[in-house]
Amino acid sequence: MPRPIARVLTLLELLQSGGIRTASELADRLDVDERTVRHYVSHLVDLDVPVEAVRGRYGGYRLSPGHRMPPLMLGDDEALAVLLGLVAGRRTGLTAATGTAGETATAKIRRVLPERLRLGLDAVLASLAFTAQPGETVAPDSEVLLPVADAVHHHRPVSIRYTDASGRPSERTLHPYGLVAHSGKWYVTGADLSTGGQDRTFRLDRVTDVRALPGSFEPPAGLDSAERVLTGLATAPYRHAVTLRVQGTTEHIHTRLPPGVALVEELPARETPDSTDPPDEPWSRVEMRVDRLDWLPAVLASLDRPFVIERPDELRDLVEAFAERLVHCARTERS
């Protein structure tokens, strides 16, 4: 595309983002002088794009209020964001649009994408799994996400540069099995050849470089990438290992202790305590790895089910202290 035309289209994108843009601001963004900006604005007006010149101290250029622009121009990151938003909303039930509307919008965007970007996005969408846990979003760079998705899709090994939670950098060789969006973060799960092929989970926002390697691999049969990520998060090494027995179903326990926090397994009758109230509910073993214990007493109380603490002893003391505070508050009379 000739450079002046590219700059005119960039000017249109800047104006479509809303607000009044001064001539000096537009000149800086386009790397031209203000006279050339005025020339580009004239080009847009000739194309029936309703650009208004706003006079005064805070004047500049803007699009006419309420005008809807027919052309849709998206960069690589913008197209990725829109398509992932449509897919995430459809798979998690967070979109207000009907299924048909979401599918047709996705098809329209894909149809106008360059083949290189379309194939990369197809690899992301084919490789991606979602969990139901919301959270604060930490998005990965598209320069990381797209090559990892391509490697997952085509079963190719990759080399990644990774920085762990303590800030320690490392270089890993990975057989990536799947991508998972969980609790606002993105993860890749796979076999880490740098540690003998152990199953590992890596946060994509901590990956700074991805290189495709020659060769291919065969992922395990019946692979559930989302389940692997949740299990990995629940069993990661933390300061305290917690084991409980709770009278309640897996579904009920996960309402307070989600899968990324706790592993829950229903127990056979021979391993349940003698006291069963309510009598028809099963007992389950709950295992967690946590850095702090002080939040657990309130969560256990909110379950409103009988429970037995197997370990650690510090949790018993915290639950007793929490119960005493509740009793004291309940018995304190209003002055």
Please check whether residue 80 lies inside any domain of the structure.
Answer: yes
List the one residue out of 180, 232, 171 whose CA is nearest residue 207.
171
Q: What is the pLDDT of residue 333?
A: 77
In a shared domain, residues 121 and 147: yes
Q: For 91-104, write each residue's pLDDT tens digit.
A: 554 444 444 566 66
The neighbour count for residue 237, using CB atoms within 10 Å, is 6
In a shared domain, residues 120 and 191: yes
Domain residue limits at 259: 240-330
Q: Select from 232, 248, 277 the last residue of a domain.
A: 232
The CATH number of the domain holding residue 323 is 3.30.70
Total tally of structural domains belonging to the chain: 3
What's the mean pLDDT in 210-237? 81
In a shared domain, residues 132 and 58: no
Under 8 Å CB-to-CB from 278, ≥6 apart: which residues?
A: 247
pLDDT at 280 over 80: no
Name which residue leads in pLDDT, 274 or 117. 117
Burial tier of 220 (Cβ tally within 10 Å: 0-12, 13-18, 19+): exposed
pTM above 0.75, yes or no: no
Name which residue leads in pLDDT, 316 or 55. 316
Q: What is the pLDDT of residue 133?
A: 52
Residue with structure tokens 């580009």?
A: 40
Pairing of strands 60-63, 185-192: unpaired
Give CA angle at 142 (137, 146), nearest 5°: 115
In a shared domain, residues 29 and 101: no
Q: What is the pLDDT of residue 268?
A: 82
Question: Do residues 42 and 75 make contact, with C-beta atoms less than 8 angstroms apart?
Answer: no
The CATH number of the domain holding residue 33 is 1.10.10.10
Q: Select from 183, 213, 232 the last residue of a domain.
A: 232
AA letter at 236: A
Residue 273 is classified by DSSP as: -
In a shared domain, residues 169 and 260: no
Q: For 152-183, write each residue's pLDDT tens digit.
A: 889 999 999 998 877 888 999 999 998 887 76
AA letter at 167: G
Q: What is the pLDDT of residue 161?
A: 93
Query: Percent of the chain scored above 70 by pLDDT?
Result: 80
Please check whether residue 172 lies inside any domain of the structure.
Answer: yes
Q: What is the pLDDT of residue 93?
A: 46
In a shared domain, residues 144 and 218: yes
In a shared domain, residues 226 and 81: yes
In a shared domain, residues 117 and 136: yes
Q: What is the pLDDT of residue 301?
A: 92
List the one residue out of 158, 157, 124 whose CA is nearest residue 141.
124
AA letter at 133: Q
